[in-house]
Structure 1
């Protein structure tokens, strides 16, 4: 019994463009992010799938809503699909975070999975919630394809989990806005199938030429 998950990162936000740490704070999609969301929608309009889920944060819901407008699915929100809560670092650029909260930012940047950002959470806490969510969705949609709109940090954690890459190791991979990532859930085990596919964004580049 295998559930195929198409895990999407939301489109670019205004804060992504500015390099601000978002966490649980909301930033709307930029003009480019809206175009990216529409490119995802156009691709998914040609691919049958059973259900559409999203993090409950605005940037993910905004992306999922543009997909739903093309595919006719209802957007089902789940807070377990959120980005990691970054507490006192939220809303700051990395430079600002290093200046205002040097010890906190240094500990966060080291990447240890169990480090809890003050007023936030650890990467392992967020990963556990996401894995529980995917297991629940797999039980709800056995032998089906399910689309999920989520966040870069969470996708990174899922990839590290599947490939057994230490959380504190350097990130030698990209997590692109509007990236398409397939993970299969089979007998309770999550397996990465496709990572970082942005072929649907090529049309946007052609439009700009």
Structure 2
């Protein structure tokens, strides 16, 4: 039996708007991000789904909380759905990271899947945690539909994982704040159904694509 996952990226944060690397550190949703979360909530309000899971980081939990107010679900947090930990780069813009930690930033930007940012983690580690969590949920909720609020890095990794794109390949696709992405999971296999749907944002003039 197939489990349907509606995977959502959290709304825009203050650091998103400033181009700061977030990782495990947090930043409040911006005014735009709050409206984006409410737009997701409005879209999900008439939908039927079994459970609402979320990363335990504040930006994802606030997005999920606003959804839960409209849908009546409890928010079920899981740390395995977190963004990749970026250690000493967290809180910096890319230019600041390049200037302060040139070797680390160069290695991070190179995309090697096993490179561990000092104080952080590798993309391979983050993918393993996220896939472990999602496959566990897929087995627990076989044949059901789930909503999961997570992060751009996790979504990017799952996109690559489902399509067989190497983690080290340059990213040639967008991962939009408050984007709606659907993946189906069946017997250990992931299938991408919908990517980057922001029609709910266009309806409220919040689409910046």
TM-score by length of 1: 0.97
Where does structure 2 lack aligned partners over 5 or more consecutive residues? none
Structure 1 residue ranges (4+ consecutive) displaced by more than 2 angstroms after TM superposition: none
Cα shift at 1:167:
1.5
Instruction: Indicate yes or no: 2:172 matched with 1:172.
Output: yes
Instruction: Indicate yes or no: 2:54 matched with 1:54.
Output: yes
1:85-124, aligned counterparts within 5 Å?
85-124=85-124
Q: Which residue of 1 aligns with 2:133?
A: 133
Q: Which residue of 1 aligns with 2:203?
A: 203
Query: SS of the counterpart of 2:205?
Result: helix
Query: 2 CA distance for matches of 1:14 and 1:201?
Result: 18
Cα shift at 1:170:
1.4
TM-score by length of 2: 0.97
Query: What are the Cα deviations for residues 45-73 of structure 1, in whole angstroms up to 9, with x where unaligned?
Result: 01100000000000000000000000000
Query: SS of the counterpart of 2:194?
Result: strand
Check conservation: 2:36, 2:206, Cα contact below 8 A. Answer: no
Query: 2 CA distance for matches of 1:193 and 1:114?
Result: 28
Query: 2 CA distance for matches of 1:141 and 1:87?
Result: 34
Query: SS of the counterpart of 1:184?
Result: strand
Query: What are the Cα deviations for residues 130-157 of structure 1, in whole angstroms up to 9, with x where unaligned?
Result: 1110111111111000000000011001
Query: SS of the counterpart of 1:17?
Result: helix
Query: 2 CA distance for matches of 1:36 and 1:127?
Result: 26
Query: SS of the counterpart of 2:70?
Result: helix
Check conservation: 2:32, 2:206, Cα contact below 8 A. Answer: no
Aligned CA distance change for structure 1 residues 45 and 136 (closer, same or farther; 3 Å)? same
Query: 2 CA distance for matches of 1:18 and 1:177?
Result: 14
Query: 1 CA distance for matches of 2:204 and 2:17?
Result: 17
Q: Which residue of 2 aligns with 1:146?
A: 146
Query: SS of the counterpart of 2:193?
Result: strand
Q: Which residue of 2 aligns with 1:23?
A: 23
Q: Which residue of 2 aligns with 1:159?
A: 159
Query: 2 CA distance for matches of 1:92 and 1:177?
Result: 19
Report how many aligned residue pairs link the two structures.
207
